[in-house]
Amino acid sequence: MPLLLAILIGLPLAEIAVLIAVGTQIGLWPTLLVLILTGLAGMLLIRASGLAVLWQARADAAAGKSPENALLAGAFSVVAGLLLIIPGFLTDILALLLLVPAFQVWVARCIPLRMAGGPFPGPAPRAPSGGTVIDGDYTDVTPPPGSGRPGSPWSNPAAPR
């Protein structure tokens, strides 16, 4: 929690400091132009990588391979696109790093993304041989004893009137 708080407070302050330093070096309008262009590049990156990742994951699954790598690369591309949209140079540098495959491999090793059964578990376990298993749901609709009105023809149809 303290790390998250430090990032939430420190990153905007660092971004402001870098924006001021870059702005004094190259000027206001070039700085704003770079920020606008990186924001547009982020939007285009998210748009382009979205469908490409889905097609690659589908092709991997059809070939019998795990689509995990394609989905992970797509996730990195989307995060990079979002970081490019956020105004600032530090987030832009991090976004460009996330597009480098070697950096993606390093980040994937640092983050525990795999679950015990893998991200796409196999088929459900089969029933033991020799028995019949019927899978289904049921609802018990029998009323509890004594729940009907006495004397009602609906509470005990076998009783004479």
Burial of 17 (0-12, 13-18, 19+ CB in 10 A): exposed
pLDDT at 59: 86
Mean pLDDT by 10 residues, the chain (161 residues): 86 93 93 93 88 83 82 88 92 93 86 54 57 78 68 58 53
pLDDT at 146: 65
pLDDT at 116: 47
pLDDT at 130: 66
pLDDT at 83: 93
pLDDT at 69: 79
Distance, in Å, from the CA atom of 59 to the CA atom of 70, rounded to the nearest integer, reads 10
Q: How far is CA 88 from CA 6, 32, 76, 108, in A?
A: 17, 10, 19, 25
